[in-house]
Amino acid sequence: MDPSEVEFLAEKEMVTIIPNFSLDKVYLIGGDLGPFNPGLPVDVPVWLAINLKQRQKCRIVPPDWMDVEKLEEIREQERKVGMFTPMPSPYYMELTKLLLNHASDNIPKADEIRTLVKDTWDTRIAKLRLSADSFVSQQEAHAKLDNLTLMEINTIRQLFLESLNHMYKLRTNMQPGKDSAKSQDF
């Protein structure tokens, strides 16, 4: 998957905005939106929130977790524990980037948030590689991907799947005697 496709999926997440315009309910295939009233918070998908924000039609309310104190806690927890800790959103990385790039004026301490999320990401990616290596070296057959997010898996997917395929074939070599040896390839 291209990261732009992962980001596209993240744009379906809901976020609260405070519009500065009025509009009746809009009926879309993906669900109804609105009604919009100036000053009244309303939930919309991220793609719409960013579009409205770009046209200065709203203010975006950052999600609860996009907060320095909460993120510091998450970062410490991630560093302390060997397993992957649950993230506040399955799209924490994408949402951080989208909202900070388009609405940093609505998010307090934007730079600190960016650093905290990046630190957490780096810790998790290091863990991901460590566990990928132990998966291979112990020749495991399956693993749980609990608490890993799509973007994280995506960075290693191709390499890891190909490696596992190769390893599987090399392991099959260990069980000879199958009549595949009779295959006629030139």
Contact positions vs other proteins (CB under 8 A) = 2-5, 7-8, 97, 101, 129, 132-133, 136-137, 139, 151, 154-159, 162-163, 165-167, 169-174, 176, 180-181, 183-186
Beta bridge partners of 31: 28
Q: Check: CB of residue 36 under 8 Å from CB of residue 21.
A: yes
Question: Can you tell me whether residue 119 is helix, strand or coil?
Answer: helix
Phi and psi at 61, nearest 5°, equal -90, 115
Provide the minimum distance between the beta carbon of 83 and other proteins in the complex, in angstroms, as a whole number: 20
Q: Nearest distance from residue 171's CB to other proteins, in Å?
A: 6
Smallest gap, in angstroms, from Cβ of residue 176 to other proteins?
6
Q: Which is nearer to other proteins, 69 or 185 (CB)?
A: 185
Are 38 and 21 contacting, i.e. CB atoms less than 8 angstroms apart? yes
Residue among 82 and 176 whose Cβ is closer to other proteins: 176
Q: Supply 25's token pair.
A: 């309910």
Please give the Cα distance from 114 to 29 (Å, whole number).
Answer: 34
Residue closer to other proteins, measured from CB, 58 or 98: 98
- Alpha-helix residue ranges (DSSP H) falling in 11-149: 46-54, 68-80, 92-103, 110-137
Side chain identity, residue 162: E
C-beta closer to other proteins: residue 65 or 135: 135
In the complex, the smallest distance separating the C-beta of residue 134 from other proteins, rounded to whole angstroms, is 9
42 vs 44: CA distance, rounded Å: 7
Nearest approach, Cβ of 162 to other proteins (angstroms)? 6
Which is closer to other proteins, CB of 79 or CB of 157?
157
Nearer to other proteins among residue 79 and residue 171 (C-beta): 171
Q: Least separation, in Å, of the C-beta of 37 and other proteins?
A: 26
Cβ atoms of residues 34 and 42 within 8 Å: yes
